[in-house]
């Protein structure tokens, strides 16, 4: 598959987190550990947690977050319909700008194969 914008952004974010973990194991490395644990199975499933993170990324207007959490949500079993409904919830909270950032989520869905 040709690398699109969502694939590139998700890869950039992962590489940045990894690099920061190496530069500063006490801060960057521990943040990466925190991230890993935050998305583990608990009272909420990893899929639900990724969908929540996706909604937050849309409301905050973070393309890297949107691409990453669409990818990770799909890896956790989220369907296209679940991702789209998550985008609608983000639009409730974020208004028109969230609608604009939903474009990145829709592109990511296509790029990551849902």
pLDDT in tens, 47-93: 999 999 999 999 999 999 999 999 999 999 999 999 999 999 999 99
Instruction: Specify the pTM.
Output: 0.93
The token pair at 42 is: 């608990």
Neighbours of 7 (CB within 10 A): 17
> Which are the contacts of 54, defined by CB distance < 8 A and separation ≥ 6?
65, 66, 69, 70, 73, 83, 86, 87, 90, 105
**What distances in angstroms separate CA 6 from CA 16, 42, 57, one per listed residue?**
15, 28, 13
pLDDT at residue number 3: 77
Name residues whose C-beta falls within 8 Å of residue 15's C-beta, 6 or more positions apart in sequence: none
Domain boundaries, the chain: 5-111
Distances (CA, A) of 48 to 15, 18, 69: 24, 24, 11
* Residue 102 pLDDT grade (very low, low, confident, very high; cuts 50, 70, 90): very high
pLDDT for res 37 = 98
CATH class of the domain comprising 5-111: mainly alpha
pLDDT of the residue at 113: 87
Residue 8 has pLDDT above 80, yes or no: yes
């Amino acid at each position: 598959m040709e690398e699109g914008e969502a694939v590139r952004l998700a890869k950039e974010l992962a590489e940045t987190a990894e690099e920061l973990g190496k530069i500063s194991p006490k801060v960057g490395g521990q943040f990466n550990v925190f991230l890993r644990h935050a998305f583990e199975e608990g009272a909420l499933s990893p899929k639900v947690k990724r969908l929540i993170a996706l909604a937050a990324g849309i409301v905050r207007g973070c393309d890297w977050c949107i691409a990453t959490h669409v990818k990770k949500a799909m890896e956790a079993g989220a369907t296209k319909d679940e991702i789209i409904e998550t985008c609608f919830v983000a639009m409730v909270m974020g208004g028109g700008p969230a609608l604009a950032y939903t474009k990145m989520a829709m592109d990511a869905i296509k790029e990551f194969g849902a």
